[in-house]
Structures are given as structure tokens and as C-alpha cells.
Amino acid sequence: MAQLDVSKSENPIEWIISAEPVPYETALAEMEARVAAIAAGEASEAIWLLEHPPLYTAGTSAREEDLVAPDRFPVYEARRGGQYTYHGPGQRVVYVMLDLNRRGRDIRAFVKALEGWVIDTLRDFGIRGEIREGRVGVWVPRPEKAPGPDGAVREDKIAAIGIRLRRWVSFHGISVNVEPDLEHFSGIVPCGISDHGVTSLVDLGLPVTMEDLDSALMANFQTAFPEPQS
């Protein structure tokens, strides 16, 4: 596990990068311990960049019928908001452990900041990420694909968002598809949405590495999450 502190404030954010896939149960335990320490004033905020082995997670709104292939990969109760999602190699998972006691106790503003962070990061690679009312995550228009049954432009999901708060400290966060096996998403109805597909940076024709994405996420973080007033 590599650690990189990119903040120069009195309350620096610790950036943690795991080089190898992290088992989900391990990640959940470490994340919950860090959140408790942040809430107690015993640790700094942290952003954890990692990958998981292939698995499905069920959010608090997950519907049983959306788990199409229950025996394909391990399924974990995530206890975050949202429905079913897939994690696996080639997908950058970003666990965001920030203290909203310092940053404003506004869940909607926090989710909007996460969306903006992803959109700004994608823009660095020439991708126009968009959000849609009633559809969580970040979407990419695909005009080169055949239109949908209603004639609308097809849209694919490139990033998922699911958070949880404990004592106003966030955990879980976002996932961005760099080069995962997109067929693995077929074992679920991703986020409960069956009318649209999923895509990745490489699927869109961009030879982006995980390191490229990490650098862009770091570069755009301060815009989305300015240093809170002390």
C-alpha cells in the first residue's frame, strides 16, 4: 500500500493507493476503522484508491430480482446507499472519507461535489460526463450507437456513486471504469437501471491507465472539495 499526502493544510488529506486488489471485507473493516478515528479526531481525512477482486455489492435499496447471476461472484451487503453494483480489476474504486462536520452537513451538496469531481476528471481525457435526474452516477452519451426504442440517444454509465455517513463522516464513494471486463456487469442490473449500458475509458477508445486516472483525480480534487474554513 502506497501513501501520498498531497495537502499542505493543517489538516492534511491522506491519499492511500493500494497496488494489489483488496478483498472487500478487508476494505470495509479498514474503512470503518478510519471513519471512526476521523470522527474521534484521531486521524486525518483520507481518500483510498484501490481495486477489488470481482464481486457484487448490494446497497440499501437493492432489489433481489436485480441480482441476475447470484452464484457468479461473491455478493456483499455494502450498507451504502444505492442498489447492486459490480467491482473488479480494471475499475478504480475511490473510498472517500471526509469530515462533513467541517465541510458542511449537506448530503445533497456532497453528492453533487462527488459528481462534479468525476465530471471534471473525465473532462481531462476529452470525455463529456453528465448526470441525469433519477439516475445516480455519471453517464456518457453514445450517439454512435443505435438510438433507444424511444429514439433517444443511448447513454452508458462510466462511474457509480454510493455513500454512507457515520457521525457526519463519509465512507464508500465512487467507482470509475478504466478497463474492467464489462461483461461482468451482466450478472446484475447495475444500479437498478436496465435501459442503459455501461462503458469504460478504454471502451471509449482512450488508452488511459489507472495511474493516469489517479493523477487526474488528485488534480481535480481541490476544485470539488475546497479546504474547509477552520
Question: Binding site membership: which residues?
Answer: 80-87, 160-162, 173-175
Q: Residues with Cβ < 8 Å from 139, sequence gap 6 or more?
A: 129, 130, 131, 132, 155, 156, 157, 158, 196
Q: How far apart are the first and last CA of the chain?
A: 30
**β-sheet bridge partners, residue 173:** 95, 162
191 is known as an active-site residue? yes
Catalytic one among 96, 191, 193, 201?
A: 191
Q: Answer for the pair 135, 193: CB distance below 8 angstroms, yes or no.
A: yes
Q: Strands 14-17 and 46-50: what pairing?
A: parallel
Annotated binding residues for substrate, written as ranges, equal 80-87, 160-162, 173-175
Nearest CA-CA partner of 98 in 163, 195, 193 = 163
- For residues 138 and 177, the answer to whether their CB atoms sit within 8 Å is no
Task: Name the residues annotated as catalytic.
Answer: 191
